[in-house]
């Protein structure tokens, strides 16, 4: 990987790299056309797009529950056990989060009540690279939050079937209905509904650029969890870090795809060189070495600075999806981190565990959106309804000011709605 030894140069490079979606007029036009066709033609458009993009003509968009049961029975026992462990840990983490964060306050006066969303749609990549982990990371928290119905869309494989591991994960997560639809057309179907696919309240899940642009375009018609770009990690390390572990974690991140970003920021030139050598050696033994090499060349780097303060400043500037603190007394720096999707403390808190099994959702803000965004969590699946329960004492106490403000805005009817009550109260009315 390229090594940058100048703090100022690193600031410039990281600022340019930490960007979200780049506009592409032609691609946006294509996605808009897909959405419009699905809105207009419904199931027929979905079947046509599935044949065009996935190479298979389906007899039915919805996956039969018997097929889901068969897939569940066929899954390797070790894989099934791993999925079950992951699901249980995700449920436990988000149940704790629910107890901590969600409390109604709808008593006399002013308060709020909390309601789960009625129906959400989950998009799970599932064609050439099925991702059952992403399905669990969305559906399980949604179910814990109390969502009544969860709809899954996932593209078919060339055989016309949905990947068995996706169906097994869907059954385990309590998915209500599964549809064999991928791409922007799946997002459109969930947002607007078709003859077969029910309209949802929120569309969740990562996907390719077509999926991401479609989510952006339907936002407002439905809610979305976020717009997710290529995966990112920044590892902050000092001379106490294990170079082999750091290299392995950077390689794992780069494996996500050629657009993934794997960055080491360190105070140790010796560690930087050791990590670089480890990467070169280990890369030769990896099956996806071509993808990893491209990722490291395009968006990977090692930055050397002279203080931990500088490493934290650069990390906050980038606002990475994953931020790993592999330094002496790592917990002491937690409070100083401002921008990150998920924060990993110490070299034993490896990112791969969170990718699959630790418990928090791995659906995280990317492209600098950790400056204002959060990981997918229990709050993504609930809404607050403000509850107003006032009495005549409140009208006496607040009404005059409300009338003054209404008239200042030129809203006469607003003012009179409160003034008529104040008049009755002044005359001794109940």
What are the catalytic residues? 321-322
> How far is Cα 364 from Cα 74, in angstroms, rounded to an integer?
31
Decide if 164 contacts 75 (C-beta within 8 A). Answer: yes
Distance of CA 302 to the CA centre of its chain: 27
Phi-psi region of 354 (alpha: psi -120 to 50; beta: other; left: phi over 0): alpha
3-class DSSP assignment, residue 64: coil
Question: Over the Cα atoms of the chain, what is R_g?
Answer: 26
Q: Tally Cβ neighbours within 10 Å of residue 276.
A: 18
Decide if 115 contacts 383 (C-beta within 8 A). Answer: yes
> How far is Cα 31 from Cα 23, in angstroms, rounded to an integer?
12
> How far is Cα 283 from Cα 335, in angstroms, rounded to an integer?
35
Give the strand pairing for 382-389 and 342-345.
Answer: unpaired
> How far is Cα 187 from Cα 212, in angstroms, rounded to an integer?
9
Sign of CA dihedral 93, 142, 364, 132: positive
Strands (E), 198-354: 202-204, 223-224, 232-237, 261-266, 301-304, 322-326, 342-345
| 391: CB partners within 8 A, 6+ apart | none
Q: Tally Cβ neighbours within 10 Å of residue 299.
A: 18
3-class DSSP assignment, residue 105: strand
Decide if 356 contacts 86 (C-beta within 8 A). Answer: yes
Q: Tally Cβ neighbours within 10 Å of residue 110.
A: 13
3-class DSSP assignment, residue 363: coil
Q: How far apart are the first and last CA of the chain?
A: 78
Decide if 323 contacts 336 (C-beta within 8 A). Answer: no
Q: ∠ CA(140), CA(128), CA(355), 5° rounding?
A: 40
């Amino acid at each position: 990987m390229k090594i940058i030894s100048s703090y100022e140069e690193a600031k410039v490079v990281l600022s340019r790299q930490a960007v979200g979606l780049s506009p592409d007029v032609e691609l946006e036009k294509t996605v808009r056309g897909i959405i419009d066709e699905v809105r207009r033609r419904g199931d027929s458009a979905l079947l046509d797009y599935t044949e065009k993009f996935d190479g298979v003509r389906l007899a039915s968009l919805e996956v039969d529950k018997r097929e889901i049961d068969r897939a569940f029975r066929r899954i390797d026992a070790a894989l099934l056990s791993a999925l079950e462990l992951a699901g249980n840990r995700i449920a436990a983490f988000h149940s704790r989060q629910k107890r901590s964060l969600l409390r109604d306050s709808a008593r006399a006066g002013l308060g709020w009540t909390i309601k789960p969303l009625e129906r959400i749609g989950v998009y799970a990549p599932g064609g050439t690279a099925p991702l059952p982990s992403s399905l669990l990371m969305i559906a399980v928290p949604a179910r814990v939050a109390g969502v009544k119905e969860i709809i899954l869309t996932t593209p078919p494989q060339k055989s016309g079937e949905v990947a068995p591991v996706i169906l097994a994960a869907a059954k385990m997560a309590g998915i209500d209905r599964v549809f064999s639809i991928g791409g922007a057309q799946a997002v459109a179907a969930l947002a607007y509904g078709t003859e077969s696919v029910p309209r949802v309240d929120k569309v969740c899940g990562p996907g390719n650029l077509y999926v991401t642009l479609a989510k952006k375009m339907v936002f407002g018609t439905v809610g979305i969890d976020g717009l997710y770009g290529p995966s990112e990690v920044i590892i902050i390390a000092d001379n106490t870090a294990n170079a082999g572990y750091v290299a392995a974690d950077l390689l794992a991140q780069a494996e996500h795809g050629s657009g993934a970003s794997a960055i080491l920021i360190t105070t140790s030139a010796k560690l930087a060189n050791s990590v670089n050598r480890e990467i070169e050696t280990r890369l030769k033994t990896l099956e996806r070495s071509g993808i990893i090499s491209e990722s490291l060349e395009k968006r990977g780097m090692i930055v050397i600075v002279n203080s931990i303060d500088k490493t934290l400043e650069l990390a906050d500037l980038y606002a990475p999806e994953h931020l790993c603190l592999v330094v002496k007394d790592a917990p002491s720096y937690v409070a100083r981190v401002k921008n990150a999707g998920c924060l990993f403390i110490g070299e034993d808190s490896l990112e791969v565990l969170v990718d699959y099994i630790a418990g928090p959702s791995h659906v995280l803000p990317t492209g600098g959106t950790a400056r204002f965004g959060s990981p997918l969590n229990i709050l993504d699946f609930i809404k607050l309804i403000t509850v107003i329960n006032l009495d005549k004492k409140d009208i006496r106490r607040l009404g005059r000011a409300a009338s003054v403000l209404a008239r200042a805005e030129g809203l006469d009817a607003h003012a009179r709605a409160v003034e008529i009550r104040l008049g009755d109260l002044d005359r001794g009315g109940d």
